[in-house]
Amino acid sequence: TWNDGEPLYQMIGSMNLVGSGQYHDRIAGLVYRDAASDMTIELNDYRGNGEFGAEQFAYQGTNKRFRVDIAGESVQIDDLTFATEAKGTLAEALTSQLLESEVVLNIAKASTPAFSMRDVQLDAKSELSDNGETLDISFVTNINNITSATGNWNNLALAIEMRRVDVAFMRAYQETVNDAYSADVEEMQEQLQALMKEHLEPVVAADPEFIISELSGQAPDGQFDGELSVKLAENAAAEMVNASGDYWLKQLLAEGYMQMDKALLRNAFIMQLETALAAQMPNQDMQSEQIQSMLNQQAEQVIGVYLQQGFIEEQEQQYRSAIELQNGVLLLNGNSIPLI
């Protein structure tokens, strides 16, 4: 339902003789109820505006509140803003063409009965190389605060990059996914496997790289941060389409690190040990003084073993692990862990 006398969706725009134009759109505030599924959807007056031309287009939208209630559970999003711009025509975007673009989503607050997030920003960007043969893609997520039963998590950041992705493969992937939209899972997997075999050589030749340039935040028990880079060795043989997993593992090169405050790692081990113990002893009170004392002792013992083996290093108030993968061997702080 929505207010009488106004359309559910309205768009008003204008276009000049050379094909450029602008428009405004609006979705009226509405409430949808489905008694069969005990679901209610509420949208509070969405408004947007955009402009387009022969070489690029842009669009921005805002919504004060969006809420979904299903069988006593609820999700509410407050003060959402959305903005996108791209090099290309609006028609190309609407037909899922591969374009240089940026999408930014901001949410003031998202909440459920169990947790809430404040000041969320998602930024996705794609940029073509000078010759138009590869694409760099980045995803950046920042969350100012998450509040839940486990406590407050603050200043969370995750930045992911995929560099030098083969454009021909990306276009073929989009077409395959669009064509197989109604296919079952097994059929789609077969089509994607065939697609990978067909495009494996140019994908590898483009020298792709996966990067986590930032993973950081303030957990209830301390701070953490890390980085990771994964790419293929220079001699990776793309023509070996049917090579074993062991072969391709040897072609991977990776390096990175993870570090966190001592209390954060210790409590992570306690939580892991408590979960395992609760599964073995479902009727035992996991919060009893005796159990918690035992879990603390076991966590300290585990950390001691890892320190002795060199898998983690102690640095004042933090523990740190540096990782490296080369020729199928994983190194943790220089200590070898064979994977094959």
Q: What is the pTM of this model?
A: 0.87
pLDDT of residue 115: 92
pLDDT of residue 238: 55
The first and second tokens of residue 188, run together, are 């789609």
The mean predicted confidence, pLDDT, of the chain is 90
The ranges of the chain with pLDDT < 70 are 90, 93-97, 181, 236-243, 340
pLDDT of residue 240: 59
CA distance 335 to 332: 5
Exposure pattern of 197-219 as b/e (b: 16+ CB <10 Å)? eebbeebbebebbebeebbbbbb
pLDDT of residue 35: 79
User: What backbone torsions phi and psi does residue 20 show, to the nearest 5 degrees?
Assistant: -90, 155
pLDDT of residue 340: 63
